Amino acid sequence: MALSTTAARNLATTTKTPPVNASATPGWLLRIMSWAEVPGGVYRRTSTVRRTIARHGSSQPGVIVAAGHHGEPALPGMYVEYGSPPREYELSVAQTVMRVHNRVDDLYSDPMDQYEQQLRLTEEALRERREHELINNPAFGLLHAPPPRHRVTARTGPPTPSDLDALICKQTRPRYLLAHPRAIAAFARQCNRHGIVPGTAELDGRRLLSWRGLPLLPCDKLPVAADLTTSILVVRPGEKRQGIVGLRPEGGLKIHKLGTDDRAVTGYLVSDYFSLAVLIPNAVCALDGVQL
């Protein structure tokens, strides 16, 4: 009679995977974001009140430039006025207290360190919260950033190729489209209905649906209203592009040991500081009233 596999397993070592967080999302907004470190906790955006170049028919003065002249004419002169007061962004915070029992850390950290695994899962939860705030926070979230002139409304409800074209035209040098996964599915259905084949784009090794060369990034942090409507955003990240800039302190997450209580449980305060600056108004534009 041969040794059974059930009995043999008593002497075998089980191969374990690290804990998997089923609620974690790809976090595309955090991936594409250009981040600026803010050592003092405040980021100041200085804008101008004049356009860089005077435009024909514009009521707003700009920098008057002479070109193609001959001889020695008097050249126009002026200065560019800075906006007053400048906009300042203070860092917001998301915090939680991670608790680890000392006995667990002492006895059950082989082959995986219990503290490190708890911290990794805590960081994932804070990243999800950060992405939610960068979109929905009423003070600095992307959803509330575009002024009325940089917002359009879906013409017939479901997001059509024409709707996305109207949205993209609102922005100079657009880079990414950000939409709820259900909105992306609704757009794909409209493309199919109109006999249009949308493109694809590769980002971080993944193939994504695209339109006019702009990847459609799925983000479930964009809210869906009770009437099943949502918004699609077009964003341009980067300080050099005068786009949207994520703000954070030096060193990323802050971890402070709170001490051990009389139950031998050690607490760690884990803080994530962040904010978001929109350098010029059309760095983010919105398509509203998108029916799913």
Domain boundaries, the chain: 26-42+89-291, 48-81
List per-residue pLDDT tens for the chain, 292 residues long. Answer: 788 888 888 888 888 888 888 888 999 999 999 999 998 889 888 776 655 555 555 555 566 777 766 777 777 776 666 666 788 889 999 999 999 999 999 998 888 999 999 999 999 999 999 999 999 999 999 999 999 999 999 999 999 999 999 999 999 899 999 999 999 999 999 999 999 999 999 999 999 999 999 999 999 999 999 999 999 999 999 999 999 999 999 888 999 999 999 999 999 999 999 999 999 999 999 999 999 9
| Residue-wise DSSP of 87-149 | EEEE-EEEEEEEEEEHHHHHHS-SSS-HHHHHHHHHHHHHHHHHHHHHHH-TTT-GGG-S-GG
Are the C-beta atoms of 77 and 66 separated by less than 8 Å? no
- Whether cis (ω within 30° of 0) applies to the bond prior to 215 is no
Q: Which residues contact 89 (CB under 8 A, 6 or more apart)?
A: 42, 43, 44, 45, 140, 247, 275, 276, 277
What gap in Å lies between CA 131 and CA 238, rounded to an integer? 17
Q: Which residue has 């001490």 as its token pair?
A: 259
Q: Which regions of the chain does DSSP assign to beta strands (E)?
A: 35-37, 42-45, 87-90, 92-101, 151-153, 176-179, 199-203, 206-211, 214-218, 229-235, 244-248, 254-260, 265-278, 284-291
